[in-house]
Amino acid sequence: MPAQLGTPPASALALAAAYRSDQTDPVAVVDRLLERIGALDAEVGAFVTVTADEARAAALSARDALRGSGADALPPMFGVPTALKDLTPTAGVRTTYGSAAFADLVPETDGSIAVRVASAGMISLGKTSTPELGLPCYTEPDVAPPSRTPYDLSRGAGGSSGGAAAAVAAGLVPVAVGSDGGGSVRIPASSCGLVGIKVSRGLVAGTPEEIDVSGLSVPGTLALTVGDAAAMLDVVALTGSRMLDACGRAPGRLRVARFCDPVISELPPDPEVVAAYEETSRLLERLGHDVVDVDPPFGPDTVSAFETAWFVGAASVDVPPEREELLRPLTRWERDRGRAATGVEYAAALLAMRQAEQRTLEAYAGYDVVLTPTLGQLPALVGSLRDDADPVADFEAQKGFTPYTSVWNIAGAPALSLPTGWSRAGLPIGTMIAGKPGAEPLLLSLAAQVEHECSSRGNPWRRPRTVMTDR
């Protein structure tokens, strides 16, 4: 391991500021990050494809632009390195969708997120790992090693944006983009000690080819700090500086609803998860907010509708018939379930989810924010959720691990996981705040307040240094 590897580079916003004050430049930063990827990624499993040559070329161009006469007009995140989830099509760069069935796929065009990241002048270092078709909540694809949380390499980074979270947590990139159809940004954020936000339905417009009929899947961002996550969201959502500006405003006194009862599983949450949730509740009360216990928004009927929509979505992915046999047992089982659903059943499932959305928003209309744990359990051991011999057991284990996150995909509302807790063994525990559709600025304002409070009290908001990430 190179002795000069040192500590991870600065945050995204700090890098952007350092460029403009000539303290460093994109070429030096990209070279350093590529060195870290070469040294650490075999352990972390963050990347499926590293685009080193393309990143170095982009860094040279960015350095020249930053030194040019028009530097003041460049976008705020210009030259900052990032990475794209391997569900995002990238022209000329392999996009596997986490599946052996697409192991050699090279798209001809970029997806909308790739276009926006490039338009902001950010530099992609490659494609981050995702489970097959983005379906499981663990990232253990056939096309790459498992993605692991840097806090304990025996445990997974979560999914489906597991590679993105592992990359940020290990200091391989300062900020990354993910997607979230049932928790796929917030699950790995919790497992890797990060800030992870999924946006409101409709905030980020995609191309016609990217439309999700179920309305479940939306983009999101992963970062070490609230400010970085907000700045990246401004890039993805084309909101100027609206999200970042919100981090500098006090949220005011808020009414916070909270519940800890699992929504989609009967497995009780881990006691350390509950303890972190209780501590965050007390923190919010110290900040002057009113915290009130409420019931979960819906029950098993809505869970069944969500599953029908999820399975039909899995079945809708166009896989060449001759490559179906390369899919994982879980994926084939989900696709079979989706194909078995009739059009009437699918329509009924979509209706049930829209009705649950309305009931959820009405139930919490009198509150500004809803607080829950992010996950029901501590970061899972690699392989402990996956069960190729029994896909039904696999799916049920995933539900027990993630009993809260899909509520907000169904409701179409924004939700944000914050790294406010740590287990006795030093594992990260996320707490989730959610709000009304369009409430991203309020959530980010509250998150920044919580971040400041944690930092001022010595709470290790940022990841504790580990042997692996400090080498």
**The two three-digit tokens of residue 156, written as one number:** 């997974």
Pairwise CA distance, residues 171 & 37, whole Å: 9
Structural domain for 151, as ranges: 3-295+357-470
Residue at 45 is within a domain:
yes
Give the CATH number, domain containing residue 396: 3.90.1300.10
Residue at 319 is within a domain:
no
Is pLDDT larger for residue 382 or for residue 458?
Answer: 382
**Number of domains observed in the structure of the chain:** 1
Give the active site residues: 85, 160, 184
Token look-up 């500004």 returns 368
Residue at 345 is within a domain:
no
Asked if pLDDT for residue 470 goes beyond 70, the answer is: no
Residue at 318 is within a domain:
no
Pairwise CA distance, residues 377 & 401, whole Å: 6
Residue at 333 is within a domain:
no
The pLDDT tens digits of the residues spanning 113-172 come to 999 999 999 999 999 999 999 999 999 999 999 999 999 999 999 999 999 999 999 999
Residue at 232 is within a domain:
yes
- Closest by alpha carbon to 53, among 24, 31, 85, 86? 31
Pairwise CA distance, residues 192 & 151, whole Å: 7
Residue at 330 is within a domain:
no
The pLDDT tens digits of the residues spanning 260-315 come to 999 999 999 999 999 999 999 999 999 999 999 999 999 988 999 999 999 999 99
Angle at 453 between CA 169 and CA 174, to 5 degrees: 20
Residues in the chain: 471
Pairwise CA distance, residues 272 & 373, whole Å: 11
Pairwise CA distance, residues 35 & 31, whole Å: 6
What pTM did the predictor assign?
0.96
